[in-house]
Structure 1
Amino acid sequence: MIDKKQMIIIKGTKDGLTLFIEDQASFEEVMDELSDKLAENNPSHDEPVVSVTVKLGNRYLNDKQKKQLSDLIGNKNRFSIQSFDSEVIRRDEAITWKEDSEIKSINRIVRSGQVLEVVGDLLLIGDVNPGGKVVTTGNIFIMGSLRGIAHAGLNGDRDAVIAASYMKPSQLRIADYISRAPDYESEGVYMECGLIDEKQDKIVIDRLQVLSHKRKEISGFERRMQNG
């Protein structure tokens, strides 16, 4: 049996308390040990409510177990669980994560009246004609002309970007930001990209090279392409 002294570790932080739970102990043992620790604490009703982050390690808790923990911690205590942090996720959550991070490589032309919608990042080898539309939850990379509508970060990802070899869209959308067509003629030499500039609070269009320092996480896209 694991030493009970190692089952529960409580540390104070500037944001409240962090509760570390030994992930090899049984849930029943954890509840017993936690109950004993909380019994030693008798907070006054005048004390402010303290936020608690529960670190589970390689332990997965179902909704019933989370409620049991929440009830135990909150019962007669001035504590409130802010979040449960676990290294373990359910199968359906893992599948969703994989879909969200997957790159869809598609070779086609999106013509007027057509809508191409994907989950994750899109690498489109082809054009988006006027009246055509591409929509993704992630980034959009078009190896061709963008003359229609492109909507990246559909679910609210404001760090998403839209890039095209020739950028002349009728509309750009990133998360909840909307931009009209640019009022200049692209040279068509350098790939351009659209991204949200937080300082200007709008979508701006710039050369693709700016992504190397404005969106460093895009390098993950390159690695995924190289690794298939």
Structure 2
Amino acid sequence: MKKIQNVTIKGTKDGLTLHLDDTCSYEDLKKELDRKLSNSTRVNDDQQLLSVKVKAGNRYLSDEQQEELKELIRQKRNLIVEDLETNVMTKAEAERMIQESEIVTVARVIRSGQVLEIVGDLLLIGDVNPGGTVKATGNIFIMGALKGIAHAGCEGNADAVIAASMMKPSQLRINDCINRAPDQPQDDENRIMECAYISDNQQIVVDRLQVLMKKRPNLTRFEGGR
């Protein structure tokens, strides 16, 4: 009977890919991984640094176990861990992913000194007054006047956008980019609904709402009609 391999090493043009069996015990997996990598690095002793991708399949790995496997690989002379993938996530991670894909609707006025912070996209029906702040991990859509601070993609989403019926912010933030208020804002009666996004040169740009269809084609989640 052919013995099942707990670790399969495949060479690619970019380095090595390690396929880890997801049915054996974690301890058996570590032992075989260490043995096979030791043999592999002795053969490749004189070669340059190799990038390693680890695919753990349907095995759940805690943060501690992931770091332990990465450290085991790093100890080999010419191996660098580029990525570790697993198909399994915790309930908390799944709930977080669902939250981040939802649009949270809030109907209120954000007054001076108040901070509204949500996970996912924010649809605010109301104004953000000077001194007020709205923050979202995703996009921010304001059906009202934005006169305070808006921070979209606050946990690292550079593709997030900000849109408002009246764009008169004291400050705009997207990811880690910041754009202060314009020195000479246009008259209120001439204002149309506008949006802000990070351009290709990593600057926040304020433009007509219509440009989002071209700049962020994946923004729309639903397509209706024929």
TM-score range, shorter chain: 0.7 to 0.9
Contact 2:110 2:129 in 1 (8 A): yes
CA–CA distance in structure 2, aligned partners of residues 162 and 80 of structure 1: 39
Cα distance in 2 for partners of 1:71, 1:168 equals 50
State the partner residue of 2:19.
Answer: 20
Matches within 5 A, 1:23-34: 23-31=22-30, 33-34=32-33
- Range that drifts further, 12-21 or 30-39: 30-39
Matching residue of 1:122: 122
Residue 178 of structure 2 aligns to a residue in which SS? strand
- Equivalent residue of 1:216, what SS? coil
Cross-structure match for 2:207:
206
Pair 186,15 (structure 1): closer, same or farther in 2 beyond 3 Å = farther
Query: Quick one: distance in 1 between partners of 2:165 and 2:2?
Result: 60
1:128-162 alpha-carbon deviations (Å, 9 max, x no partner): 12332212222110111212221112223221110
Does the CA-based 8 Å contact 1:153-1:175 persist in structure 2? yes
Structure 2 residue identity aligned to 1:17 = L
Q: Distance in 1 between matches of 2:22 and 2:110?
A: 50
Distance 2:62 2:178 in 1: 40
Q: Deviations over 1:113-135 (max 9, x none)?
A: 32222222110011112332212
Secondary structure at the counterpart of residue 219 of structure 1: coil
- Bigger drift between 28-37 and 186-195 goes to 28-37
Asked if structure 2 preserves the Cα contact closer than 8 Å seen for 1:21 and 1:55, the reply is yes
Aligned length: 221
> What root-mean-square deviation, in Å, do the aligned CA atoms of Structure 1 and Structure 2 show?
2.9
Q: What CA deviation, in whole Å up to 9, does each residue of 1:71-105 have, x standing for no partner?
A: 55455553233321011112222233333333211
* Residue in 1 that maps onto 2:196: 194
The amino acid across from 1:205 in the alignment is V
Counterpart secondary structure, 2:96: helix
**CA offset at residue 63 of structure 1?**
4.5
User: Mapping of 1:129-208 within 5 angstroms?
Assistant: 129-182=129-182, 183-185=185-187, 190-199=192-201, 201-208=202-209
In structure 1, C-alpha distance between the alignment counterparts of 2:193 and 2:89, rounded to whole Å: 38
Q: Distance in 2 between matches of 1:154 and 1:74?
A: 32
What TM-score, normalized to structure 1? Answer: 0.80
TM-superposed deviation, 1:12: 2.2
In structure 1, the residue matched to 2:111 is 111
Equivalence for 1:46: 46
Gaps in structure 2 of 5+ consecutive residues: none
Decide whether the 8 Å contact of 2:38 with 2:76 is kept in 1. no
Cα shift at 1:40: 4.4
Relative to structure 1, the CA distance from residue 146 to residue 17 in structure 2 (aligned partners, 3 Å threshold; closer, same or farther) is same
Please say if residues 103 and 123 of structure 1, whose CA atoms lie closer than 8 Å, have aligned partners that are also in contact: yes
Asked whether the equivalents of residues 196 and 204 of structure 2 are also in contact (C-alpha less than 8 Å), the reply is: yes
CA distance in 2, matches of 1:123, 1:167: 15
Any unmatched runs of 5+ in structure 1? none
Q: Which has the higher mean CA deviation after the structures are superposed, 124-133 or 44-53?
A: 44-53
